[in-house]
Structure formats: structure tokens, C-alpha cells
């Protein structure tokens, strides 16, 4: 079973960095420790339930270290979302679908294949972009706007695949496919162990409706 894409392996700073703390290396390592701690806690419990003190405790740093690098909790959340996009959207969903599929249709369907593996993991945590979107109701919040943008970036990849497949209206298709993806994540969070397979079946119907071969 592949590792949960929401998690990062813990890493210690290199010994050379530890030896040069007095020369300023603690600035980078301190920020990284806070960022990693926030990533783990936010992805697991959401941003609303996790306070700054919990991040500090998980990172094992002083409060002043956190605020030296992040002016507010919102700034810390924005960094978390950026990291999530790098690891989850680009490093996992896009990379794996490209690896598993040779055609645009195969790559679209591969998303639900890897989702099925993700949903089956005991530490499945859901989509952080959706979680943050639901947690932050202020439409003008930079955090909410960032979540919307990160979701739009996922949809952009779907739109590219739809364009390559020859779909007449790739934006509309991408939005429909994205609904299947988000819906399957919510269903899996509810406990539906077959959510990805059900979404894949609907995806085949959608592709067929657009005249795109799925074999």
C-alpha cells in the first residue's frame, strides 16, 4: 500500500546545518520544522481545531520562532496549502495519473484508481482544500481564496486532459469530472469503501457520452 499522500516523512536537519546554527542556519531549519508540524496537524485535524500552540509543541520550537517566520496563523495555513499542492496535486495525483495512463482517458480514470488506494488507507484524511473551504466561511479571506485557487489548479489539469481527448467544451467537462472527484472524497469520508469505484463507473459514462474510448 502506498504511503498516505497527505503525510510527509519526518526529516531531521542535516548535521552540518545543526553545527552552523550560530551562523544563521537555524532560521531555515526553524521555519521548516514549523511548516512540517503544521502540515501534519492541519492535514490530520483541519485548521480550525489546531491552534498555534499545538503547532509549536509538535515542532518543538519556541513561540518566537514561529512568529519570526509566520506573521499569523493564516500565513501558516497558506504555506500549508502551498505545500499540499506540491505534494498532493502535483507530486501524487498528476504524477501518478500520468504514470498509469497512456491516453487522456486512461489518465482521467487512473485518478479514481489511485483514489481507491488512498481511500483504503486507515489514515485517510480527506482533501485539505475542501476541508479549509468548509472551515472558512468569509468569502474575502485569503485562506478561503487560496483553497478555491488550489482546487481550480486541479481542475486546470483535468481541463488539459479533456482538451487532449478532443472534448468540445473542456472546461465544462473538467468541472463535471471534478465533481466526481470531490464527491468520491466526501463519500469516502462518510465511510463508503467503494466510492472511488462508483465514481470511476460514472466517469466511464461521461467519457462515453463525449465519444471518448475508455479502453
H/E stretch holding 166 reads none
Q: How many domains does the chain have?
A: 1
Q: Is residue 8 part of a domain?
A: no
pTM for the predicted model, two decimal places: 0.86
pLDDT at 4 (0 to 100):
66
pLDDT at 21 (0 to 100):
37
Q: Is residue 10 part of a domain?
A: no
Q: How far is CA 210 from CA 32, 97, 167, 201, 203, in A?
A: 46, 20, 7, 15, 11
Q: Is residue 140 part of a domain?
A: yes
123 pLDDT exceeds 50?
Answer: yes
- Higher local confidence (pLDDT), 178 or 17: 178
Q: Is residue 104 part of a domain?
A: yes
CB 154 within 8 A of CB 93: yes
Grid cell at residue 214: 475508455
Q: Of 100-104, 143-147, 149-153, 211-215, which gets the smallest average pLDDT?
A: 211-215
Q: Is residue 33 part of a domain?
A: yes
As a whole-number percent, the residues of the chain with pLDDT over 70 amount to: 87
Q: What residue has cell string 495512463?
A: 101
Range of the domain at 197: 15-209
Q: Is residue 197 part of a domain?
A: yes
Q: Is residue 9 part of a domain?
A: no
Q: Is residue 6 part of a domain?
A: no
2 pLDDT exceeds 80?
Answer: no
DSSP string computed for 23-70: GTHHHHHHHHHHHHHHHHHHHHH-SSS--HHHHHHHHT--HHHHHHH-
The mean pLDDT of 129-149, rounded to a whole number, is: 96
- CATH code for position 112: 1.10.357.10
For residue 23, with 0-12 CB atoms within 10 Å meaning exposed, 13-18 middle and 19 or more buried, which class applies? exposed
pLDDT at 215 (0 to 100):
76
Amino acid at each position: 500500500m502506498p504511503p498516505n499522500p497527505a503525510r510527509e516523512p519526518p526529516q531531521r536537519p542535516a548535521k552540518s546545518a545543526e553545527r552552523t546554527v550560530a551562523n544563521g542556519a537555524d532560521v531555515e531549519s526553524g521555519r521548516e520544522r514549523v511548516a512540517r508540524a503544521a502540515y501534519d496537524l492541519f492535514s490530520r485535524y483541519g485548521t480550525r481545531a489546531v491552534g498555534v500552540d499545538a503547532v509549536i509543541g509538535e515542532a518543538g520550537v519556541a513561540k518566537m520562532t514561529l512568529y519570526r517566520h509566520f506573521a499569523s496563523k493564516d500565513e501558516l495555513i497558506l504555506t500549508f496549502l502551498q505545500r499540499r499542492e506540491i505534494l498532493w496535486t502535483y507530486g501524487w495525483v498528476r504524477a501518478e495519473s500520468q504514470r498509469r495512463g497512456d491516453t487522456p482517458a486512461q489518465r482521467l480514470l487512473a485518478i479514481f484508481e489511485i483514489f481507491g488506494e488512498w481511500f483504503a488507507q486507515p489514515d485517510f484524511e480527506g482533501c485539505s482544500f475542501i476541508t479549509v473551504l468548509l472551515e472558512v466561511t468569509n468569502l474575502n479571506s485569503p485562506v478561503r481564496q487560496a483553497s478555491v485557487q488550489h482546487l481550480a489548479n486541479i481542475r486546470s489539469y483535468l481541463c488539459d486532459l479533456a482538451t487532449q481527448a478532443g472534448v468540445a467544451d473542456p472546461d465544462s467537462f473538467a468541472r463535471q469530472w471534478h465533481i466526481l472527484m470531490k464527491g468520491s472524497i466526501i463519500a469516502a469520508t462518510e465511510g463508503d469503501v467503494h466510492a472511488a469505484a462508483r465514481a470511476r463507473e460514472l466517469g466511464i459514462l461521461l467519457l462515453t457520452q463525449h465519444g471518448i474510448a475508455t479502453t
